[in-house]
Structure 1
Amino acid sequence: MRKMLPCLILAGGLGTRLRPVLGEGFPKALASVDGQPFLAWMLRWLERQRVTDVVLSLGYGCGEITHWLSRQSLGLSVTIIEEDKPLGTGGAILHALWTCGAPRMIVLNGDTITDLDLCSFVEFFDVGGADLAIAATSVSDASRYGTLEFDAGSRRLIAFEEKRPVQAPGFINAGVYAVDAARLLGFDLPERFSFEDDFLRRQITSLDIRVFPEITEFIDIGIPSDYARAQHVVPLMCEQSAHDT
């Protein structure tokens, strides 16, 4: 059986859009979803997909999250990396790769759960020999997001399309990546930067980036309306993942 890559969860954000719901000083990773912290659902989802090693990149709310973790009985190993200052998604990924020394990792946003089959995603990454893979999902209205344009055969990324005011379907970045550390660490990058806007968009021609468009269920708790929807969607998604394993 293929050994699962270690998973990096980016959970250092300020969560400003959820503060009206959660209150000041409350980390988004601990936001209650159906009576349990969102992070608990994420870790359970990863464990059911045979993940054994998780790296948590933390910043805002690190103390509260670390305290919560210390009281849990987990079936996987969790390593915490704390950002002394905000690094952006790109800086957090590079910091984790340098710190952990893992040759390859799966990277996930700490406010998102999908129905992605991680084993299939890793196999896609391995077989294609790409520098980086992006998991994508199709939405009926992509006007809120930028979309991904990719070759239907090779699934190689061609372009990131900007947000458009007109409602139209499209494939969007679901915030899950498989990365090759050697390729990423070979670039001369600033300490703080956005992984998508400051790096991926600028390196499409120099990197072999492949798109895995197999996500059908996707929930991001980053805004109050989606956080409310997550209260019933997340438990159903995790229950389904338990049946599929």
Structure 2
Amino acid sequence: MKECIILAGGFGTRLQSVVSDVPKCMAEVAGKPFLRYLFDYAANEGFNHIILSLGYKFEIVISWLETQNMPFEVSYVAEEYPLGTGGAIKLAFTKVKGTEAFVINGDTFFDLDSESFLEFHREKESDISVALKPMQDFDRYGSVELDDEQRIIRFNEKEYKKEGLINGGVYIIAKKLFSKLSLPEKFSFEKDIMESHIHGINIYGHRLDNYFIDIGIPSDFEKANVDFLGK
């Protein structure tokens, strides 16, 4: 079974100037909720089970789901209060049936080959595999450094870089990770797992130079409205 968690509980604070009061994943892009493009991607990539991690105004997402026909099973969890990215992922993993799951952000589209990414993850026997996007002239994202074996050795803070690799917001996570680590209910996946345990667990980065967009700011939201026309 090929499973994917979509983190779809975001407030969309930075998009309030261009998007009505809906969860970020439901922001309309080229006439469709952004979540529809993520579902279409999941269908094209052969996923069997999608788990939505919901929070802010989750009822809007559930109502929309009832109008959709999908070629995969859809489950969801809903936070009663914000749990942070780590808490949201940990809660969603209670619905995962297999030994691993993809995790993607509900406001990011990274058009990667999921089969090759999964093969990489299993070959490395990784606890966490991170899809990395090469970027040029950026300061909006932190950068990631790898060793010769593609193990992640450093997460750098946001600063201007002429070129580098960024975290593309797509992961494959081994389910056993959450029993290996002692974790609170509310925590940051990036800070409290990946950065804090960088030397204690297997975290590998897979470089993929495919189409990538993060609709989290108005300028890229407007770009997505152009890019996704006709899709």
| Pick aligned residue for 2:22 from 26, 36, 42 | 26
Q: Is the counterpart of residue 76 in structure 1 residue 72 in structure 2?
A: yes
Q: Is the counterpart of residue 133 in structure 1 residue 129 in structure 2?
A: yes
- 1:85-164 matched pairs, under 5 angstroms: 85-151=81-147, 153-164=148-159
| Pick aligned residue for 1:182 from 169, 172, 176 | 176
Q: Is the counterpart of residue 233 in structure 1 residue 215 in structure 2?
A: no
Q: Is the counterpart of residue 207 in structure 1 residue 204 in structure 2?
A: no
Tell me the CA shift for residue 154 of structure 1: 1.2
- Quote the residue 1:216 is aligned against: 210
The question of whether the paired residues in 2 share the 8 Å contact of 1:132 and 1:208 is answered with yes
Tell me the CA shift for residue 74 of structure 1: 1.3
CA distance in 1, matches of 2:125, 2:216: 33
CA distance in 2, matches of 1:221, 1:133: 23
Question: Which 5+ residue runs of structure 2 have no aligned equivalent?
Answer: none
Pairs aligned (count): 231
Report the TM-score, using the length of structure 2 for normalisation. 0.95
Tell me the CA shift for residue 108 of structure 1: 0.4
CA distance in 1, matches of 2:180, 2:98: 14
CA distance in 1, matches of 2:106, 2:229: 16
Question: Which 5+ residue runs of structure 1 have no aligned equivalent?
Answer: 240-245
Per the alignment, in what secondary structure is the counterpart of residue 191 of structure 1?
Answer: coil
Per the alignment, in what secondary structure is the counterpart of residue 17 of structure 2?
Answer: helix
Comparing 135-144 with 92-101, which one deviates more in the overlay?
Answer: 92-101
Comparing 177-186 with 43-52, which one deviates more in the overlay?
Answer: 177-186
Report the TM-score, using the length of structure 1 for normalisation. 0.90
Per the alignment, in what secondary structure is the counterpart of residue 140 of structure 1?
Answer: strand
Tell me the CA shift for residue 27 of structure 1: 1.6
Per the alignment, in what secondary structure is the counterpart of residue 135 of structure 1?
Answer: strand
Relative to structure 1, the CA distance from residue 27 to residue 183 in structure 2 (aligned partners, 3 Å threshold; closer, same or farther) is closer
What do the CA deviations read for 1:69-117 (whole angstroms, capped 9, x no partner)? Answer: 1011111111111111111110011111134354211000010111210
| Pick aligned residue for 1:6 from 3, 23, 32 | 3
Per the alignment, in what secondary structure is the counterpart of residue 18 of structure 2?
Answer: helix
Percent sequence identity over aligned pairs: 39
Per the alignment, in what secondary structure is the counterpart of residue 221 of structure 2?
Answer: helix
- Quote the residue 1:242 is aligned against: none
The question of whether the paired residues in 2 share the 8 Å contact of 1:59 and 1:83 is answered with yes
What RMSD in Å do the two structures reach over aligned CA positions? 1.4
CA distance in 2, matches of 1:181, 1:46: 20
Opposite residue 87 of structure 1, the aligned amino acid is: L
Runs of 4 or more, structure 1, over 4 Å off, are none
Per the alignment, in what secondary structure is the counterpart of residue 120 of structure 1?
Answer: helix
| Pick aligned residue for 2:164 from 170, 179, 203 | 170
CA distance in 2, matches of 1:143, 1:84: 34
Q: Which has the higher helix share?
A: 1
Tell me the CA shift for residue 147 of structure 1: 0.5
CA distance in 2, matches of 1:186, 1:98: 15
CA distance in 2, matches of 1:13, 1:104: 23
